[in-house]
Structure 1
Amino acid sequence: MTLFNSKKAGMLFGSVVAASLAFATVAAEARDLRGWNIHVEDYPVSHGMEAFLKEVDEKTGGEISGKVFHAGVLGSQPDAIEQTRLGVIDFGVFSLGPMGQVVPEANVVSLPFIFKSVSQMYEVMDGEPGKALSKGLEAKGLVALGYYDAGARSFYTSAKAITEPADLTGMKIRVMNNDLFVGMVDSMGGNATPMAFAEVYQAIKTGVVDGAENNPPSYESTNHFEVAQFYSLTQHLIIPECLCMSKRTFDSLTPEQQAIVIEAGRNSTELQRKLWQEREAASMAKVAEGGVAVNEIADKAAFQAAMEPVYAQFLEQSPDLAGLVEMFKNAE
């Protein structure tokens, strides 16, 4: 082989190696994300998550793709939160209720009447209070990309409507197993009864409890409206859900990819909130057709005043969260 041919072959070999290295670099940067979701596929949260992943895939040119695993197939919510913190799961949508066991700041949004309305919750969570809560999440290994709507919880009862706190006196009301929610009902004179959600229908039907509380889609989809035909819109709990990414995953992305993820999270949140409102409207229409007496409560001042012992106990147990509680309470 001549010297010229040797140089030419060397140059060709070098080009092949360089191309191979470039391809390997691209391949190494490609990510296949795993997303956790407790809900079924046809649900506002699920559609929001799918839209998020699709946008990220498209805007990164396929560098970041993946799959959302619906219906809790990747494990329970507490387990999934921990796996996301560790980077085993890359992202998920988690209720801020159980999140409080890991992130103390999240407990603030589980306080009754901390939000004035669902629309106000949007503004608060998109504003400074939400950013303060997000810092608490990040300190525990979770990056908040958006706060989804999970509806407002209201009382539904079998015998009468709830128009003021005194109406709950002596009534047995099923609540989630959380001291805050037990205290909420007890402070209004009711008898809070923690119980598995799957048992509620039969418990109301047989009189074991006099009612329960939940958002419209849950009230409707479980057919609880068949046995509890008074729905009083107290909206006492408005607990958002967080579209969260593992900080380990987020930190491994390039700045350009991080910007795409943040934008996709914001767009996904707007879509999910719109879909949730549509779902709520459909649920309310269905329960009305089913004969439910829907009781609007324009002035919730008496209910809010009854929560003073709940707030006092919470702040006694978590004095370091007093500033955050005030920030949320005073938000417009």
Structure 2
Amino acid sequence: MLMVLLLSVPVAAETIRFGMITTPDHAWSRLMQQFKSSLENSSSNAIRVRESRFAKVRGESSIIELLGRGQLQAAIVAVGSLTTLDPSLNGWLMPYQFSSAAQLRLAAQSDDAKAMLAGLERHNLVALGYVFSGMRVIMTPTLMTSTRDLKGKRVGTFPNDVFYNWYRQLGADPQPIQIQDIRLWFEQEKIDAIDTDLATAVDLQLYDQAPNLMYTNHMAFPGVFVVSKSWWAALASGKQQAISAAFSQAEKTTFAALEQSEKADLQQLRERGVTVKKYTETDFNGVPQKLRDFYYGTNERLKRFGMAQP
């Protein structure tokens, strides 16, 4: 009788609470939803995946802190937020270092890129791999016909040193901003432009306030799928394998759709009346190379990683 009772007790499900700051239709949000679906539909694992709304509101610095304390189990965090833990990760953000998603995927397989991920374990984070999104662009309320028009403008940027120096070199005034504040800051005229990606621009309907797109593709913006090291170490190996497999499959599926998603987002912006002007590295008067050279001199791994790119 006791044996029957023991066998009838349901096994408690493992709950993974994750944090991320991206908008609903962003590549990283779609990746996490595919990860959730894959893991929860696995018949051999009692695992549930839930988003932490608290973490989303608090931002990535809070997400990293919660992961380090084991109070959050998983997250997708931009490399730009992890550079305080490992400055060599700034190598991913060098302006005009990458020109295609395929190039990013190849770079992620390099020894230096893998070493960047491995080094995060010192901060109680286990990195399961890189994730990718669209390149960075600039949206403005008023039409700009040259990169020189950015001089003196307040540009909302991701809170990272490379972003700040990039815009300062262009004569602009970088303003660190959280995604949820972009529309409000435009309304309050706190910024004159926003550094973003196409998916975020579409999701937040930024074309209502900034109907001009400087289609620069000036910077890549990878993220890292990370889990809490203390939580990960306590998991059974079978669950670790299931989680790793679910992430790997979700990453491949999302990456395969990235190029088409970028084209669709750009088309949607055009259909919403956005004026699109394309820019290349030559339009920035040597600033991209100047910034790359500066950062190559700050970190040997960053330099090796950057110089290895075709």
Q: Structure 1 length as normaliser, TM-score?
A: 0.76
What's the CA shift for 1:61?
0.9
Q: 1:86 to 1:103 in 2, by over 3 A?
A: farther
Whether the 8 Å CA contact 2:295–2:302 is kept in 1: the answer is no
Once the two structures are superposed, the pairs formed by residues 228-307 of structure 1 within 5 Å of their partners are 228-297=210-279, 299-301=280-282, 303=284, 305-307=286-288
Tell me the secondary structure at the aligned position of residue 237 of structure 1.
coil
Once the two structures are superposed, the pairs formed by residues 200-219 of structure 1 within 5 Å of their partners are 201=183, 209-219=191-201
Q: Structure 2 unaligned runs (5+)? A: none
Structure 1 range deviating more: 112-121 or 165-174:
165-174
- Measure the CA separation in 2 of the matches of 1:206 and 1:42: 26
Tell me the secondary structure at the aligned position of residue 247 of structure 2.
helix
The Cα RMSD (Å) is 3.4
Structure whose alpha-carbon radius of gyration is higher: 1
* Structure 2 residue 14 is the aligned partner of structure 1 residue 36: no
What's the CA shift for 1:131?
1.1
Whether the 8 Å CA contact 1:231–1:294 is kept in 2: the answer is yes
Tell me the secondary structure at the aligned position of residue 216 of structure 2.
strand
Aligned residues: 307
- Measure the CA separation in 1 of the matches of 2:236 and 2:185: 53
What's the CA shift for 1:152?
1.0
Whether the 8 Å CA contact 2:136–2:197 is kept in 1: the answer is yes
Q: 1:315 to 1:44 in 2, by over 3 A?
A: closer
What's the CA shift for 1:209?
4.8
What's the CA shift for 1:89?
1.4
2:67 maps to which residue? 84
Structure with more relative contact order (C-alpha pairs < 8 Å, separation 6 or more): 2
Structure 1, residues 217-254: CA drift from partner, whole Å, max 9, x if none? 22233333244333222211211111112222322234
Once the two structures are superposed, the pairs formed by residues 191-206 of structure 1 within 5 Å of their partners are 191-194=172-175, 196=177, 201=183
Q: 1:203 to 1:259 in 2, by over 3 A?
A: closer
1:161 maps to which residue? 145
1:9 maps to which residue? none
What's the CA shift for 1:33?
2.2
Alignment counterpart, residue 122 of structure 1, candidates 87, 105, 108:
105
Which letter does structure 1 place at the counterpart of 2:144? K
Structure 1 range deviating more: 173-182 or 78-87:
173-182
- Measure the CA separation in 1 of the matches of 2:42 and 2:92: 33
What's the CA shift for 1:42?
5.3
1:113 maps to which residue? 96
Whether the 8 Å CA contact 2:39–2:242 is kept in 1: the answer is yes
Q: Structure 2 length as normaliser, TM-score?
A: 0.81
1:5 maps to which residue? none
1:187 maps to which residue? 169
- Measure the CA separation in 1 of the matches of 2:154 and 2:21: 28
What's the CA shift for 1:150?
2.8
2:303 maps to which residue? 325
Which letter does structure 2 place at the counterpart of 1:119? A
Structure 1, residues 249-286: CA drift from partner, whole Å, max 9, x if none? 32223444333322221111122334554543332122
Whether the 8 Å CA contact 1:231–1:292 is kept in 2: the answer is yes
Structure 1 range deviating more: 210-219 or 36-45:
36-45
